[in-house]
Amino acid sequence: MRLNELLVKIKNEFKNSLTKLGYFDENIDIILEIPKDKSNGDYSSNIAMRYAKIARKSPLIIAKDIVENFNKKDLFITNIQVANPGFININLDKTFLLDTVNEINKLGNHFGELDEGKGEHYNIEFVSVNPTGALHIGHARGAAAGDSLSRILKKAGYKVTKEYYVNDAGNQIHNLALSIDVRYKQLFDVDVEIPEDGYNGPEIIETAKKIKEEYGDKYLSEDGYEFFRDYGVNSLLDILKKDLADFRVEFDVWFSERSLYQQNLVEKTVDYLKEHGFTYENDGALWMKSSEYDDEKDRVIIKSDGTYTYITPDIAYHKNKLDRGYTKLIDILGGDHHGYINRLKAAIEMVGGKSDLLEIEILQMVKVLQNGVEVKMSKRSGKAITLGDLVSEVGPDPIRYFFAARSLNTQMDLDLDLAIRQTNENPVYYVQYAHARINSIFETAKTKGYSLDNLPTKFTTITGEKSFALISQLVIYPDVIKNASDLRAPHKLVNYINSLATAFHSFYNDEQVVSTDHVKTMERLAILNATKIILKDALSLIGVSAPNKM
RNA sequence: GUUUCGGUAGCUCAGCUGGAUAGAGCAACGCCCUUCUAAGGCGUCGGCCGGGGGUUCGAAUCCCUCCCGGAAUGCCA
């Protein structure tokens, strides 16, 4: 029997006991939680306190009554008792927990997979940075968050499509083309300057150089605007893809904004809005009535000069996503986009979707510090610290871990000096070290003639407090997945990984694993094998590697 | 002004779907390597949980209000 089944049975027995007492009320959930302090038992219920009002008795008396009517038979309960001010604390037969070790060793990295998303297909859009320059550190947070969240949702049983919306049409691409044009001409000593809204990043110069190498001075004499634009988009997209891949972030779909125009989807969407009476003209522009759907005001979708605003193709894009049949759209956007939420949701409703089909997760800004001073990130100026540089310097692990460790809606400071430092000040090494240490124990065991092939499934020598502290961490892994998935909170997983690593390190200092006692050694190896599986799997969900050696 | 995120240990942050003495990492200090990796363990120090009201048996957590900081408030993207 699995732990979850046992907990359900225990809850049922609480229900029985309450029914016998004549208190039971369906509206009050019976909750079992794991107390912070182990001396309060393995599980604890506040049920007596919650019934105090209904029963009109003191929680302590109710708790006593519940316990007296509680039938412990076949519930693996070694102790059940009442504590002030009315908690009911339960201790489970410790050996029961050991079954989870067997389950992990049997299922491997499939342990913790849930069945939450039956029939659901999520589309999760993130990064979606314009292809006008390299990714900088600020963008890395979105990449890390979206990717980690996707992995967690998949683990929880959801079907997930990761998507990047490529803004390859519109004004910024126009500026990109002009910027490349200037850089190209400068390579031939033509006296031209980057326009005011142009891009100054080194990638632009690199792109111009590549064009010069391949095509020589061809575009000095003929107009290269369209060529520069298309070449630039492709070239910069390649850079983005590589930087993301190095950061262990891959996308299933790269969706081109321009493809919307090619299929007339933007025009059709505008027509749809017009036909359904969601628009009106004013001051020579076309407005949508978003204020009728929780947006603070109406928004222009066709400017008086006849061009679209930023949101117009984006509405067509989101309609397209809905048409593709996803059951939920998750957009991960930067903190500067929060004013965008309501107008996009309004638009979703106008094109026929329910507003809760679209879920927008806002990432707060990252303040980057170097030598204790804030560094401003700007793609226009080209002065930003790029993700690619950072990853090639320290690898993806510290950065992925750092971003995953914070909840999405906290404004965080990134201390570059600390991120780069490869010492114990950097918390990622603490958890990776746990994994490497386990592997090292396995190596030692092998040289002493032990094999991991036939791990024991019965345990007779596991008694230490640290052992059970470690095992109880393993046991809750599926709950952590569910929680992180439900709350869209990758950092919950990081907290867990940390606790697991702590439990292991503590165990390590307390128990000698490899010894001449065959039974003791094999049983400990079995627990560590399970620990290693979970550590590695949990780290993989946040895109961090689990090295065997450090 | 409005919207929104935040204010918890010296620093960076968890805890916020109400629970038992408020946690972690780093920093500081002290112990622990003839035995599986000391990037480790164990311990000490450190807190009006921004202020004030309220709800509750119980509030860092929920409600109201005020203060402080960031972000957004474009026919930019």
Give chain A's mean pLDDT.
92
Let me know: does A110 contact A368? Beta carbons within 8 Å: no
Which 3 state secondary structure label does DSSP give A300?
Answer: strand
Q: What is the reported pLDDT for A492?
A: 96
Q: Where are the beta strands (DSSP E) in A131-182?
A: 159-166
**Per-residue model confidence as pLDDT tens digits over A131-182:** 998 998 889 999 999 999 999 999 999 999 999 999 999 888 999 999 999 9
Summarize pLDDT for A66-118 with one digit per residue, the tens: 999 999 989 999 999 999 889 999 999 887 889 999 999 999 999 999 999 98
Strand B closer than 7 A to residue A81 Cβ: no
Helix (H, G, I), strand (E, B) or coil at A366: strand
**Is strand B less than 7 A from the beta carbon of A54?**
no
Is the distance between the Cβ of A550 and the closest atom of strand B smaller than 7 Å? yes
**Cα(A168)–Cα(A261) distance, rounded to whole angstroms?**
11
- List bases in chain B with any atom under 7 Å of a protein Cβ: 2-7, 12-15, 17, 19-21, 23-27, 35-42, 57-58, 69-77
Count CA within 13 A, CB hemisphere, residue A396.
22
Terminal Cα distance for chain A, rounded: 38
* Host H or E run for residue A364: none
Residues in chain A: 550
DSSP string of A208-234? Answer: HHHHHHHHTTHHHHS--HHHHHHHHHH
Q: What is the pLDDT of residue A70?
A: 94
A92 touches strand B (CB under 7 A): no
Instruction: Collapse the DSSP code of A224 into the 3-class scheme (helix H, G, I; strand E, B; otherwise coil) and give the result.
Output: coil
Q: Kindly write down the DSSP assignment for every residue of A264-276, as one continuous string.
A: THHHHHHHHHHHT
CA of A502 to C1' of B44 (A): 20
Angle at CA of residue A279, ends A277 and A281, nearest 5°: 130
Question: Worst-scoring range by mean pLDDT, A25-34, A123-132, A283-292, A300-309?
Answer: A25-34
**Euclidean distance between CA atoms A7 and A3, whole angstroms:** 6
CA distance A159 to A427: 31
| Residues A313 and A259: beta-carbon distance below 8 Å | no
**A550 CA, B40 C1': Å apart:** 13
Q: Which two tokens stand for residue A106?
A: 């049997």
Q: Are strands A366-370 and A412-415 parallel, antiparallel or unpaired?
A: parallel
State the residue for tokens 């502290």. Answer: A469
**For chain A, what percent of residues have pLDDT higher than 90?**
76
User: Exposed, middle or buried by CB within 10 Å (0-12, 13-18, 19+), for A306?
Assistant: exposed
pLDDT in tens, A488-502: 999 999 999 999 999
**Upstream peptide bond of A313 is cis (omega within 30 degrees of 0):** no
Distance A376 CA to B15 C1' (A): 31
Å between CA of A99 and C1' of B20: 30
Judged by C1' against the alpha carbon of A48, the nearest nucleotide is B57
**Is A487 near strand B, with its CB below 7 A from some atom of it?**
yes
Task: Give A485 CA → B6 C1' in Å.
Answer: 23
Task: Give CA A73 to chain center in angstroms.
Answer: 42
- Segment A480-494 shows an average pLDDT of 95
Q: What is the mean pLDDT of residues A324-346?
A: 94
Backbone angles phi, psi at A364, to 5 degrees: -75, 165
Strand B contact with A407 (CB < 7 A): yes
CB A389, CB A206: distance < 8 Å:
no
Nearest residue to B33, CA vs C1'? A509
> Residue A301's pLDDT band (boundaries 50, 70, 90)?
very high
User: Is 90 exceeded by the pLDDT of residue A421?
Assistant: no
In whole angstroms, give the CA distance from residue A168 to residue A365: 25
- Regarding pTM above 0.90, the answer is yes
